[in-house]
Structure 1
């Protein structure tokens, strides 16, 4: 039986880091409710596409309009089995919005699976839930991870790390590893 998962989005969330897990987790039988503070089901968030093109940092291009399928204000975190936090610019400001940090803290305190990628670590750090943990993130977030008391996992961009029920990765090239590790933590069995 599939799990009920919550995906926390916001404007200028990284396009692939939102779209790919949203679709992949549903493809294997999970229900994924995508929400954004201040928005309701049927509203959309704008996404951004980040690429690695040889510059000192990633480039950013307009992505898609992603339609939310649930309303943030109606969310009861106790009704969900796990949390997905995509990266991009959204986590930077989502951590300042009412209700977001307590929601993230619920999943940690209830020992529920959490998957965060790229700048999603900014939400984990702001929620104060990573002290003593091993956490990957986009390298620009390493200082925030360490200041929050976690050990920054400096891994290749296509890898992920699992610490208990927390699965993190540096960026979207890690989707195969990140999603596979999250599915393992969720207890999802896929037959070949």
Structure 2
């Protein structure tokens, strides 16, 4: 029996629902095993971020409930080909989790792929991994990228800089996953 290559997906409560489910299903459709890691192994409450006419920023609604497969403390980065950092509000608190920062830094040290979409960039900035890189993310997180020495690109839905692929929002999925799968096939 052959073993499928694994992709680690990092999120938590208030992670973006569509980004989580799309990633899980898209990786599995392509023959990879997706493993969702969170602060603990539990049923998480995801959220839906969308834009409402007349609002200056996005709105948030309750999303799907999703089970995490493992806790961050159980992650062995050697088991994975790549890591994906999801958006939503989860990165706000996950960027303060020392284990998450260690995990992402290990992927970088081991020269593995690091994928980030929307607010997932907040974890990369907290890990000190954006300096000198060209990236994109949700436009209102651009300040963090630039303050940490990265170059923000706002005109592209997705950007690749070496082993890093970043996307702006769930609306970037087509461009983002084209780049992700080019990396994984290469």
Q: CA deviation at 1:2?
A: 4.2
Alignment match, 2:7: 5
* 1:20-35 matched pairs, under 5 angstroms: 20-35=22-37
| Structure 1 position 4, deviation (Å) | 1.1
Which of these residues, 15, 18, 34, is aligned with residue 17 of structure 2? 15
Name stretches of at least 5 consecutive residues in structure 2 with no aligned partner.
Answer: none
Distance 1:178 1:126 in 2: 22
Question: Which deviations, in whole Å up to 9, do the C-alpha atoms of 1:87-130 show, x marking residues without a partner?
Answer: 01000100111311011111112111111000001001000011
The 2-side partners of 1:23 and 1:71 are apart by 20
Structure 2 Cα separation of the partners of residues 124 and 161 of structure 1: 15
| 2:140 match | 140
Backbone CA RMSD of aligned residues: 1.3
Structure 1 runs (4+) deviating above 4 angstroms are: none
- Of 150, 166, 173, which residue of structure 1 is paired with 2:171? 173
| Partner residue, 1:164 | 162
Rounded Cα–Cα distance in structure 2 between residues aligned with 1:9 and 1:76:
16
SS of residue paired to 1:65: strand
Which secondary structure state, in structure 2, belongs to the residue aligned with residue 179 of structure 1? helix
Structure 1 segment 48-63 matched on structure 2, within 5 A: 48-54=47-53, 55-63=55-63
Does the 8 Å CA contact 1:47/1:63 hold for their aligned counterparts? yes
Q: In 2, distance between residues paired with 1:84 and 1:26?
A: 14
- 1:36 is matched with 38
How many residues in Structure 1 have an aligned counterpart in Structure 2?
Answer: 183
Which position in structure 2 is the counterpart of 1:97?
97
